Amino acid sequence: MSLQIFTIPEIKSALKNVDVVEAIEKGFAAYSQGKVVVPPVGELLFSDPPGELHIKYGYIKDENFSVIKIASGFYENSKLGLPTGDGLMLLFSQTTGILEGILLDEGYLTNVRTAAAGAVAAKYLAPNIIHRIGIFGAGVQGRMQLTYLKPVTTCRDVLVWGLNQEELDLYKKDMEGEGFDIRTTMDAEKIAFNCDLIVTATPSRSPLLYASQIRIGTHITAMGSDTPAKNELDPGILEKADIVAADSMSQSLSRGEIFQAVRSGKLKSEKVIELGNIILQPELRRQSEDQITVADLTGVAVQDIQISAAVFNILTKK
């Protein structure tokens, strides 16, 4: 088979025919069943200007492809009129090792699979009745996380936190166009006091939320901390939580909120449950409206494998 290369318009068109949340959910389940080979994350971290480049790769046993995903994030690019993220996905045959496909997705598939993972976490861990959704981060992921929550909850009442009013006003305009009732704030504490499903989608290196602020029954999906230096939650929140879920146990011990909480002595790793096991075992899910739950999503290669294979199969009509 000859190498096939697809660009972002083709990829976005193919995605319309993919149930991304279902694909990511199945990927998490396969990962926790030991059916996925995922080596440690490769990454390059830059300080001047600040940025990062991640390499995530692996394969699901007995399926068609092994996948290598490369994605970058350079947060000052907006000053240059450039996107803050870029990337591509490489699909190799598991049978021959030959490169069969390149998806020049410019980081879009990474954003989609990350947002879908947030929806999966909320599906199994959020309270049944959600009164208000809180979003930390008025950027791309802050928008996509909310969009992908639509099938999970009927709640459309949203409070979003951002760094400046200009970006918050733009967020409000964009997301009200999707049917949400958006209110904005630059006071992080208001999110904790007013929301029972909270998503943190920032590159913060210091906590945005503290244990004393979290209400009974709150679910938090933390997905911004994908390097060892990032930290969106006070470790005391994970200590206080009734359920702490990781997308990957091995990754969560080297990066993310679980890493920070274990390192600080606030959390024992034995308390952590993999999201795939929560999907597979109903008794591990939220059992009451009073429980506090946290999902720490560091981003696992199985998500990239699932979404890239699904898109490639549609584009090649496999």
CATH classification at residue 95: 3.30.1780.10
Domain with 285 in it: what CATH number? Answer: 3.40.50.720
Q: Examine residue 115 and state whether it is found in any structural domain, yes or no.
A: no
* Mean pLDDT score across all residues of the chain: 96
Q: Examine residue 264 and state whether it is found in any structural domain, yes or no.
A: yes
76, pLDDT greater than 70: yes
Q: SS3 for the chain, per residue?
A: CCCEEEEHHHHHHHHCCCCHHHHHHHHHHHHHCCCEECCCCEEEEEECCEEEEEEEEEEECCCCEEEEEEEEEECCHHHHCCCCEEEEEEEEECCCCCEEEEEECCCHHHHHHHHHHHHHHHHHHCCCCCCCEEEECCCHHHHHHHHHHCCCCCCCEEEEECCCHHHHHHHHHHHHCCCCEEEEECCHHHHHHHCCEEEECCCCCCCCECHHHCCCCCEEEECCCCCCCCCCECHHHHHHCCEEEECCHHHHCCCHHHHHHHHCCCCCHHHEEEHHHHHHCHHHCCCCCCCCEEEECCCCHHHHHHHHHHHHHHHCCC
Q: Examine residue 31 and state whether it is found in any structural domain, yes or no.
A: yes
Alpha-carbon Rg for the chain in angstroms: 19
Does residue 179 share a domain with residue 48? no
Does residue 281 share a domain with residue 144? yes
pLDDT (tens digit per residue) in 179-200: 999 999 999 999 999 999 999 9
Does residue 190 share a domain with residue 165? yes
Q: What is the pLDDT of residue 227?
A: 86
Q: Which domain holds residue 40?
A: 4-109+302-315
Does residue 288 share a domain with residue 152? yes
Does residue 80 share a domain with residue 125? no
Does residue 134 share a domain with residue 32? no
Q: Are strands 181-185 and 50-60 parallel, antiparallel or unpaired?
A: unpaired
Query: CB burial class (10 A; 0-12, 13-18, 19+) of residue 195?
Result: buried
Does residue 141 share a domain with residue 77? no
Q: Would you say 276 and 29 are in contact if contact means Cβ atoms under 8 Å apart? A: yes
Q: Examine residue 176 and state whether it is found in any structural domain, yes or no.
A: yes
Does residue 128 share a domain with residue 88? no
Does residue 139 share a domain with residue 72? no
Does residue 35 share a domain with residue 12? yes
pTM, to two decimals = 0.94
Q: How many domains does the chain have?
A: 2
Q: What is the pLDDT of residue 226?
A: 86
Does residue 237 share a domain with residue 273? yes
Q: What is the pLDDT of residue 1?
A: 64
Does residue 205 share a domain with residue 102? no
287, pLDDT greater than 90: yes
Q: Would you say 123 and 152 are in contact if contact means Cβ atoms under 8 Å apart? A: yes
d(CA 52, CA 50): 7
The residue that leads in pLDDT, 159 or 83, is 159
CB atoms within 10 A of CB 78: 12
Categorise residue 252: left if φ over 0, alpha if ψ from -120 to 50, beta otherwise.
alpha
pLDDT (tens digit per residue) in 128-178: 999 999 999 999 999 999 999 999 999 999 999 999 999 999 999 999 999
Q: Examine residue 229 and state whether it is found in any structural domain, yes or no.
A: yes
Q: Examine residue 114 and state whether it is found in any structural domain, yes or no.
A: no
Instruction: Say what percent of the chain tops pLDDT 90.
Output: 95
